[in-house]
Copies of this chain bind each other. A is one copy, B any other.
Amino acid sequence: MSILCVGSVALDSVETPFGKAERVLGGSAVYFSAAATVFNPVQMVGVVGDDYPLDDLAFLTDRGADLSGIEQASGESFFWAGRYHYDLNTRDTLETKLGVFADFEPKIPEAFRDARFVFLGNIDPGLQHDVLDQVTAPEVVACDTMNFWIEGARDRLLELLARVRILMVNDEEVRQLAGEANLLKAARWVQERGPEIVVVKKGEHGAILFADDWIFYVPGYPLEEVFDPTGAGDSFAGGFMGHLARANSMGADDLRRAVVYGSALGSFACERFSVERLKDLDGSSVHDRVEEFRRITAFETSVPVAGHV
């Protein structure tokens, strides 16, 4: 059950307190696919300039990604440069050059159009609509977005919500979208507009999934060294959708597992620059981390004793 993934394919220059990486693989579609292909094949759609080191994406092909939807256009690739602060929770964008991404019009290859699992990375909601218009029978559509579109393309974004089953955003974004500080109420607000599932990513504080009448919470994995948080959210989405597509399920148990796999992949992404850690990830490392999540969160209720509770 391949996942169709549409998003940015970028080059990033990143500075963290631990070091510097220049023009390395980045972009939502790349992080998503690096994570999702640990579980399941992916069909990628995006655009790069003639400066893009496409050979560096070979590890994705080796893991079952189909890159035939990545168009190479004349010009420069999407470039982002950023610097993280001391605590790694805040960052400054030093430079953003859209390059060929400015004129991106997603063209879904014929072979991808029957995709049942679709991930719409954080791009213009108008383009997210265009993607869905080209897909014949999508069943599980997940989308990401950001403050830029929540402010600047609100109507199109709200129309999009009616077409997706899963919204995956961070806590600030869902609060801004709903105009509501309480996360539970903000998630309900979104659910009334379409998505049955709202996944709220909270960075080091973990992730919460809101379903119809239940919620599920996974803490952030306590890393001793957060080397580079870039792409953690898209890696989360990759692990999440990767599991759902592999299981071919939207059942409650699989949604819960998907949050754990998403959190695991998001945590791995932070351990090295770019997709370096995701590249050499194997099944047993993922399983070990999932078991650590269990150890961190599992508890037995005590037998009540006399006197008080």
Contact = CB atoms under 8 A, between A and B. Distances in A.
Interface of A: 37-40, 64, 86-88, 175, 181-185, 202, 204-206, 208, 214-219, 222-226, 242-243, 246-247, 253-254, 256-257, 259-260, 283, 286-287, 290-291, 294-302, 304-305, 307-309
A87 B253 CA distance: 32
Nearest to A187: B222
Copy number in the complex reads 2
Contacts of A247: 302, 305
Nearest to A207: B219
A257 B181 contact: no
B256 A299 contact: yes
Given A182-B226, A247-B302, A302-B247, A309 B294 contact: no
A219 to B, nearest CB: 4
B205 A215 contact: no
15 contacts: A40-B308, A86-B181, A202-B205, A205-B206, A206-B217, A208-B222, A216-B297, A247-B305, A254-B302, A256-B299, A260-B299, A283-B304, A283-B308, A294-B299, A297-B297
